[in-house]
Structure 1
Amino acid sequence: MHAYRTHTCADLSAANVGDTVRLSGWVHRVRDHGGILFIDLRDHYGITQVLCDPDSPVFAQVEKVRSEWCIRIDGVVKARDASLVNPKLPTGEIEVFVRDIETLGAADELPLIVFGDQEYPEETRLRYRYLDLRREVMQKNMTLRSDVVASMRRRMWDRGFREYQTPIITASSPEGARDFLVPSRLHPGKFYALPQAPQQFKQLIMVSGFDKYFQIAPCFRDEDPRADRSPTDFYQLDLEMSFVTQQDVFDTIQPVIGGVFEEFGNGRKVDQTWEQISYKDAALWYGTDKPDLRNPIKMQIVSDHFAGSGFAIFAKLLEQDGTQIRAIPAPGGGSRKFCDRMNAFAQKEGLPGMGYIFWRDKGDVLRGELGDLLTAKIKAEKKKDESLVAKISSEADAKAVELDRLEQEANLTAVRPVEAAGPLAKNIGHERTEAIRQQLGLGVGDAAFFLGGKPKQFESVAGRARTAIGEELGLTDKDRFAFAWIVDFPIYEKDAESGKIDFEHNPFSMPQGGMEALLGDPLEVLGFQYDLACNGYELVSGAIRNHRPEIMFKAFEIAGYGEEEVRKRFGGMVNAFRFGAPPHGGCAAGIDRIVMLLADEANIREVIMFPMNQRAEDVMMGAPSEPTPDQLMELRLRSIPQD
């Protein structure tokens, strides 16, 4: 018999009844049922119930075991009574009667409980991550991650790619974040850097003639943490191809990413058509370049309806250059209560509020008003106030006549009369509110919210409001993965204060139109750069690369970087491009984020085996730590204490 096990804790079934077996694992929980001890024994694969009674030669030893002890047991497989079968467990038809036991690793009092769904502070979970990882949900998440990576590798090989490794210790090369620097012992005063991405190396692989490259690549960036981003390191599916267009890259990566989501999406719908949306339109429609298309709401510009209107705040705002008013449609949000909730949301976002209009059935409004008048009439009659009764009766008769007219019109046209309500509606009047309603395609029971100013100043808040509206009204389809390529990114932007032109996005992207495009207005230059968004997250980023030295030098010159500085920063790549560089492009897909979506987790740390905390600390291993004086001496470094 094997030293530790003949079967895993998921293997045994009714076919094994009568067999003598050996199992090893952790004590998931212990139950004492009137002198009979039941233990749920757990390993990576599953759970088997084992039991022991006073007739067992090791009963006294079994009585001593506690949760999370690691033990080995020998025993005989027995069938459970039909009434005691557990259909939720693959091993639920059997149990093992313990004949022998060995403690492989006793456990102290636990700082967190593995059994059950108790919530613990993140610091506790990360400090004792090895215990946290024993929990069922974490076992599933890490297994999912491993399976996703394996699937990606198979799919890339099937598409004719080979995996090549690039250096982990290299030169500092700005990729949009801070480097992690590594001091050199052999070259005092000089530093290596951990690569933010294999960007330059994978381009050099193309120059070397390998045509198709991929790698499950570790990347290192000293960034501020977020729920969907690690503050230190992450992994990406990195790929590059030669002699390709932007569409070729899309056609290559879409079946890989889409296939992974179909394989591991747990039955959720995976969109087969992936829209291509310009960066400009994404900002307008969704307020973000990583839109969640499960939410059908599209924002629109409605400036014309407020210019010169009675709503002075927006009318005056539109007199300034570069300002807009945008509407966020809210189908089904046509109640004052909902509008007040969204106003409260805006105030939490630091705004004074959001203007709104909601539309209701005019007949319903009249019926409500008529009901109020009749109630008031009854009260006046009780007080015997004849003049007030007459006045109310006159108003009620007029309302009844109007209601009758509306009903007749509705019967003839089959269209219910609509009335706009809310502070904005009163200020801008029926004609403008009706034009807004028609433009947005809204009707009775719907609403719209409005934000104004220079788009870059309010787009992100508008995007978050769109998300909140979709969630509140149940418009967002939770059982779906919706993908979109965001394309046509601007290469340059102008600083509002200094007027200086600088790169807004990847400086290594080939400008659309090549050198000719760089001779015109820099703010009009678009790059062959693209991101893939899914359910509100950026999953993939890439570009067709600028492989022509003369175009690269010109692109950097526009942003104020001379040829000498470009050669100094990116000399290895620039020199290589002098020797017959092929047109090439590629992308990188964030593995951690993909697994986070597939696992239906909101925090990326739930799918990373040993993540850092919010302060970029490894509280389990004690990193970062202070170097010893000998280490600093050897590297010829000095640590300057903080004030």
Structure 2
Amino acid sequence: MSEQMDERSYDEYRVIEDLGGWKRTHSCNELTAANIGDEVLLMGWVQFRRDHGGLIFIDLRDREGLTQVVFSPEHNTDAHERAHAIRSEYVVAVKGVVRARPDGMINTGMKTGEVEIVVDEWKLLNTSDTPPFAIEDRTDASEMLRLKYRFLDLRRPVLAKNFILRNKAAQSVRRYLDGRGFLEVETPVLTKSTPEGARDFLVPSRLNNGEFYALPQSPQLFKQMLMVSGLDRYFQIVKCFRDEDLRADRQPEFTQIDIEMSFTDEEQVMDLAENMVRTLFKETIDVELPSEFPRMTFAEAIRDYGVDKPDVRFDLKLQDVTEIFRGSDFKVFGKAEVVKVLRVPNGGELSRKEIDEYTKFVEIYGSKGLAWIKVKEDAWQSPIVKFFSEDEKAKLAEITGVKPGDILFFQAGQADIANTALGSLRIKLGERFGLIDEKAFAPMWVTDFPLLEYNPDEKRYVARHHPFTSPQPGQLDTVSEKPDEALARAYDLVLNGNEIGGGSIRIHTPEMQEKMFKALGISEEEARSKFGFLMDALKFGAPPHGGIAFGLDRLIMIMCGAKSIRDVIAFPKTQKATCLMTEAPGTVSSRQLRELGIRLREKKEA
């Protein structure tokens, strides 16, 4: 058949067939030189089609990879003639013999690059419209377009590999925990609203008009119930829901590896979790993590890195220079609660435009500006240097060890803002100057968190983790008398600047739980209304218990080297919590609302 087929003959060869008993023998990423001479049957999508005059080539793709397929008029005239109708993303099944590729045609970048299949027979299983973007790893399509056609986006090899890895990771976790006596137990998805943290997603009840379920932010209370129930060791790979503002690493629905143990302490939980992560990395991506994860207290993390999830793949540290400038003529520093500085070796090459961009960046964290000094051979260059005394300059140089070519960045003011702003800028600068080894994995534990933190908006103390976290031994009175000094029996596992897991030893006596609620400003009536079933359970011989939960999505994102958590969730939401593919959330009928006893307030016109 000629390439100039008329429309009739083209349609004649686009007849869709059924499988007719054909069964795949291999995936499209399985055949090697060891299979030469084998008769095989592959099925998949057409990645590319190339007509080289006499021969027609296609790259056949499934989730595992690609195989080159050849239609030859000398081998099978009919199969070759019909192959003129094949287009990209058509679904085909091919039956043929594996042969070696000709000299000079080997593709070392493919696992199947030494071989090809010469076709004896083939079936057209379905046709395809022209996709709205190329089904390739490198695409210039916007994320919005790819999310609208997510079912096509998932065909791209880079995303398919993410979900293959995610599956391997989940199975590794299950094997590990099953081998250590853990039971996988499902907990309810429709539960009671206990708003103490992020906003709940609420679900109206048709059978109980005017009342609502909540989707669980985590299985926290249920897993504690399971410990009271005597099931001893529980885990679950579970969906959780939080109605919060989104970022690149957050979604309204996400997945946790949830773990709880009875008769345990911090060391046992951390040891189990550490070994699980080490096993997971080895089995899934063949990476050997350190035999022992380093540890750092919360206070040390804030002091040296400004944040409680430090990225320790590079060595830049913040330094506290508050005392140097106490009472300084430079009032911005002299009256500040804290003054922190970050020295960037050889950072003096930064342009004023870049510094201005960094100034805008720190404003995200509540900072009112970014002070800086460029150190030259013969002078310090900065708008603020003229306000410094010679003694202040000398002490600053001694503490920071600054050298010509360096730049110093400062944050002054409220401690939490100064630390967070400068700590976050540290990451940006590490990326800018290539200080971070993107292929490295640096896990570490952060311990000794504050139990409570003051919320100025609510004018009360709130739990830093959750209200069921136990204070450290001997600090029961501290919770009520000096709440800002109380430390929690809590621990976070941090990887490359991301919190991948967090947990604590729980309160297991009603007396301590009541004291915690009181410190949080939760009245006895409110505690009974929200957490009555927990308070009842603690009265019936609750064992000491604790656990940890890992963010599976974030963990997989890091393991894959993905830039967004959306790249490891099959059908993610946008930053406005919408699904572009299904157009959720959407409106519902008046009848449905009446059944639920709900009336919507009319929107006000702009």
TM-score normalised by the chain length of structure 1:
0.85
Residue in 2 aligned with 1:533?
494
User: Distance in 2 between the 1:456 and 1:149 partners?
Assistant: 37
The answer as to 2:219 corresponding to 1:206 is no
User: Distance in 1 between the 2:361 and 2:273 partners?
Assistant: 39
Tell me how far 1:272 sits from its aligned partner.
4.1
Taking a change above 3 Å as real, the CA distance of residues 619 and 209 of structure 1, as seen in their structure-2 partners, is: same
Taking a change above 3 Å as real, the CA distance of residues 535 and 36 of structure 1, as seen in their structure-2 partners, is: same
CA contact (8 A) 2:68 2:117 kept: yes
User: Distance in 2 between the 1:444 and 1:311 partners?
Assistant: 23
Structure 2 SS opposite 1:289: coil
Structure 1 SS opposite 2:235: strand
User: Distance in 1 between the 2:408 and 2:190 partners?
Assistant: 53
Task: Map 1:440-455 to 2 at 5 A.
Answer: 440-455=400-415
Paired letter, 1:314:
F
Taking a change above 3 Å as real, the CA distance of residues 499 and 176 of structure 1, as seen in their structure-2 partners, is: closer
Backbone CA RMSD of aligned residues: 2.4
The answer as to 2:3 corresponding to 1:3 is no
Residue in 1 aligned with 2:97?
76
Paired letter, 1:427:
F
User: Distance in 2 between the 1:501 and 1:591 partners?
Assistant: 30
User: Distance in 2 between the 1:475 and 1:8 partners?
Assistant: 40
Taking a change above 3 Å as real, the CA distance of residues 187 and 312 of structure 1, as seen in their structure-2 partners, is: closer
Structure 2 SS opposite 1:63: helix
Question: Per-residue CA shift, 1:598-625, capped at 9, x if unaligned?
Answer: 0111100000111112221122223212
Residue in 2 aligned with 1:100?
121
Taking a change above 3 Å as real, the CA distance of residues 461 and 15 of structure 1, as seen in their structure-2 partners, is: closer
Range 558-567 or range 62-71, more displaced: 558-567
Tell me how far 1:263 sits from its aligned partner.
3.8
Percent identity between matched residues is: 40
The answer as to 2:148 corresponding to 1:127 is yes
Of structures 1 and 2, the larger Rg is shown by: 1
The answer as to 2:443 corresponding to 1:483 is yes
Match of 1:330 among 341, 344, 353: 344
User: Distance in 2 between the 1:230 and 1:532 partners?
Assistant: 20
Residue in 2 aligned with 1:13?
32
CA contact (8 A) 1:514 1:551 kept: no
Paired letter, 1:188:
N
Residue in 1 aligned with 2:254?
234
Structure 2 SS opposite 1:32: strand
CA contact (8 A) 1:346 1:465 kept: no
| Runs of 4 or more above 6 Å deviation | none
Task: Map 1:271-290 to 2 at 5 A.
Answer: 271-290=290-309
Residue in 1 aligned with 2:239?
218
User: Distance in 2 between the 1:346 and 1:339 partners?
Assistant: 10
Residue in 2 aligned with 1:355?
371
User: Distance in 1 between the 2:458 and 2:602 partners?
Assistant: 35
User: Distance in 1 between the 2:523 and 2:29 partners?
Assistant: 65
User: Distance in 2 between the 1:615 and 1:344 partners?
Assistant: 26
Range 74-83 or range 101-110, more displaced: 74-83
Question: Per-residue CA shift, 1:316-372, capped at 9, x if unaligned?
Answer: x24xxxx11111122232x264677335411443356433344455xxx4xxxxxxx
CA contact (8 A) 1:4 1:72 kept: no
Tell me how far 1:266 sits from its aligned partner.
5.8
User: Distance in 2 between the 1:263 and 1:8 partners?
Assistant: 22
Structure with the bigger percentage of helix: 1
Paired letter, 1:354:
L
Unaligned runs of 5+ in 1: 366-418
Structure number with higher relative contact order (C-alpha < 8 Å, ≥ 6 residues apart)? 1
Match of 2:358 among 345, 349, 352: 345
Residue in 2 aligned with 1:411?
none
Taking a change above 3 Å as real, the CA distance of residues 502 and 591 of structure 1, as seen in their structure-2 partners, is: closer
Task: Map 1:512-523 to 2 at 5 A.
Answer: 512=472, 513-523=474-484
Paired letter, 1:284:
R
Structure 2 SS opposite 1:148: helix
Residue in 2 aligned with 1:465?
425
Match of 2:559 among 598, 602, 606: 598
Match of 1:50 among 51, 55, 69: 69
Residue in 1 aligned with 2:595?
634
Task: Map 1:372-521 to 2 at 5 A.
Answer: 422-496=382-456, 499-512=459-472, 513-521=474-482
User: Distance in 2 between the 1:600 and 1:497 partners?
Assistant: 38
CA contact (8 A) 1:297 1:328 kept: yes
User: Distance in 1 between the 2:69 and 2:477 partners?
Assistant: 76
User: Distance in 2 between the 1:329 and 1:640 partners?
Assistant: 55
TM-score normalised by the chain length of structure 2:
0.89
The alignment of Structure 1 onto Structure 2 pairs a total of residues equal to 579
Taking a change above 3 Å as real, the CA distance of residues 19 and 255 of structure 1, as seen in their structure-2 partners, is: closer
CA contact (8 A) 1:490 1:527 kept: yes
Structure 2 SS opposite 1:481: coil
Range 93-102 or range 5-14, more displaced: 5-14
Unaligned runs of 5+ in 2: 1-19
User: Distance in 1 between the 2:171 and 2:89 partners?
Assistant: 31
Structure 2 SS opposite 1:291: coil
Match of 2:164 among 143, 149, 161: 143
